[in-house]
Structure 1
Amino acid sequence: MKLLVLLISLIHALIVWAGQTPTPIVLWHGMGDTCCAFYSLGGFKTFLEKQIPNVYVTSLRFGNNTIEDRESGFFMNPNDQIDYACKVLAADPNLQKGFNVIGFSQGCQFLRGMIQRCGHKLPPVKSFISLGGQHQGVYGLPHCMAVSHKTCDYIRELLNYAAYQSWLQSSLVQATYWHDPLNEEEYMRKSIYLADINNELAINETYRSNLKKLENFVMVKFDSDSMVQPRESEWFGFYTPGQGSQLQTLQQSRIYTEDRLGLQAMDRAGKLAFLSQPGDHLQFDETWFIDNIINKYLV
Structure 2
Amino acid sequence: MVLFKGLLILTIFYGALAASGPLPVVLWHGMGDTCCFPFSMGSIKKLIETEINGTYVLSLRIGGNIALDYESGFFLHPDDQVRYVCDQLIKDEQLAGGYHAIGFSQGGQFLRAVAQRCSSPPMKTLISIGGQHQGVFGLPKCPSLSNNACEHLRKLLYRAAYKEWIQRELVQATYWHDPLHEEEYRQKSSFLSNINNEVFINQTYIDNLNKLEKFVMVMFLNDTIVQPRESQWFGFYAPGQDTAIRPLTQSGIYEDLGLDKMDHDGKLLHLSVEGDHLQMTSTWFIENIIPLLKKN
TM-score range, shorter chain: 0.7 to 0.9
Equivalence for 1:263: 259
Indicate if the aligned counterparts of 2:23 and 2:293 stay in contact, CA closer than 8 A. no
Please report the TM-score for the alignment, with normalisation by the length of structure 2.
0.87
Q: Does 1:201 align with 2:192?
A: no
The change in CA–CA distance for 1:84 and 1:143 in structure 2 (over 3 A counts) is farther
Give the 3-state SS of the residue equivalent to 1:31 in structure 2.
coil
Write the distance in 1 (CA, Å) between the matches of 2:294 and 2:157.
37
Q: Which residue of 2 aligns with 1:63?
A: 63
User: Which structure 2 residues correspond to residues 27-38 of structure 1 after superposition, within 5 A?
Assistant: 27-38=27-38
SS state of the match for residue 22, structure 2? coil
Pair 1:190–1:238, CA change in 2 (3 A): same
Q: Report the CA distance between 1:156 and its aligned residue.
A: 7.2
Amino acid at match of 1:87: D
What is the distance in 1 between the residues matched to 2:271 and 2:172? 25
Contact 1:21-1:54 within 8 A present in 2 as well: no
Pairing 1:273–2:230 present: no
Partner Cα distance (2:18, 2:31) in 1 = 39
Letter in structure 2 aligned against 1:220? V
> 2:40 is matched by which residue type in structure 1?
S
- Indicate the residue corresponding to 1:288 in structure 2: 284
Structural mapping, 1:136-215, within 5 Å: 136-143=134-141, 159-215=157-213
* Partner SS for 2:118: helix
1:21: Cα distance to partner?
2.7
Give me the CA root mean square deviation: 1.8
| AA partner of residue 97 (structure 1) | G
Q: Does 1:129 align with 2:127?
A: yes
* 2:88 counterpart of 1:92: no
Q: Distance in 2 between matches of 1:139 and 1:19?
A: 43
Q: Secondary structure at the match of 1:134?
A: coil
Q: Which residue of 1 aligns with 2:214?
A: 216
The residue type equivalent to 2:88 in the other structure is V
Using the alignment, how far apart are the partners of 1:18 and 1:135 within structure 2?
33
SS in 1 for 2:140: coil
Q: Deviations over 1:104-154 (max 9, x none)?
A: 0000010001111112xx12211101000000000012259xxxxxxxxxx
Q: Quick one: structure 1 residues 245 and 157, their matched pair in 2 at CA, closer, same or farther if it must change by over 3 Å?
A: closer
Aligned position for 2:224? 226
3-state SS in 2 of match to 1:176 = helix
Amino-acid identity (%): 58
SS for the counterpart of 2:289 is helix
Residues 249 and 32 of structure 1: is their aligned pair in 2 closer, same or farther, counting only changes over 3 Å? same
Q: Deviations over 1:14-67 (max 9, x none)?
A: xx7798332000000000011012112011101110111130000111122222
Q: Distance in 2 between matches of 1:124 and 1:75?
A: 28
**Can you give the 5+ residue segments of structure 1 that lack an aligned partner in the other structure?**
1-15, 145-154
SS of the residue corresponding to residue 141 of structure 1 reads: coil
1:252 maps to amino acid: Q
Give ranges in structure 2 of 5+ residues lacking alignment: 1-15, 143-152
| DSSP-derived class of the 1:220 partner | strand
Distance of 1:87 and 1:158 partners within structure 2: 37
The alignment status of 1:114 with 2:110, answered yes or no, reads no
* Aligned residue identity for 2:206: R
1:18–1:134: structure 2 CA closer, same or farther, 3 Å change rule?
closer
Measured at CA, do residues 37 and 263 of structure 1 come closer, stay the same or move farther in structure 2, by a change above 3 Å?
A: same
- Residue 216 of structure 2 aligns to a residue in which SS? strand
State the 1:298 CA deviation. 3.6
Distance 1:19 1:227 in 2: 39
CA distance in 2, matches of 1:227, 1:79: 23
Give the 3 Å change call, closer, same or farther, for CA 164–231 of structure 1 in structure 2: same
Q: How far apart, CA to CA, are the structure 2 residues paired with 1:206 and 1:45?
A: 31
User: Cα–Cα, structure 1 residues 81 and 158, in superposed 2: closer, same or farther, change >3 Å?
Assistant: farther
Q: Which moved more, 1:284-293 or 1:269-278?
A: 284-293
